[in-house]
Amino acid sequence: MLHIGNPRPWLIISCLVLSACQTASGQSDKPASLDAYISCNLAAARRVAGQPGDPISLAVAARGICLRQERQLSEELIATKGELRAHRVLQVYREGMLEANTAEIVKMRARTPR
């Protein structure tokens, strides 16, 4: 569920990382490229926040700015998890980034006087 105005997008991402990266033994196997993907998305969300448009559309655009990082993450997931599981995990990350980007845009707009 999307919580517009959530001031802690990193909390959303952390929850996703923990749930998507659990191995059978219960240990985390967080991809090395995940931090770059998250950082790029949140920075892109901040850059587009001042543009006109609804926050969700802008969040999608912000995610699109980070296609290189997403591709690196995808390649790493495929190499470590196999194609089917990698696709599922990447979808969790993409959905989480959409929510986190939207929250970041709403937060930035709330801080900017109109």
pLDDT digits (tens, 9 = 90+) for 19-77: 555 544 455 678 999 999 999 999 999 999 999 999 999 999 999 999 999 999 999 99
Is 2 domain-assigned? no
Phi, psi (degrees; rounded to nearest 5) at 2: -85, 125
> Structural domain tally of the chain?
1
Is 57 domain-assigned? yes
Is 53 domain-assigned? yes
**Mean pLDDT along residues 5-22:** 54
Distances (CA, A) of 67 to 12, 34, 41, 107: 20, 13, 10, 23
CB count in 10 Å sphere of residue 6? 16
Give the pLDDT confidence score for residue 8 in this predicted structure: 55
Give the residue numbers spanning the domain of 105: 9-111
Is 85 domain-assigned? yes
Query: Angle 83-111/55-65 helices, nearest 10 degrees?
Result: 130
Helix (H) or strand (E) holding 85: helix 83-111
Q: Residues 69-102: pLDDT tens digits?
A: 999 999 999 999 999 999 999 999 999 999 999 9
| pLDDT above 80 (res 1) | no
Check the CA dihedral 20-27-72-17 and report its sign. Answer: positive
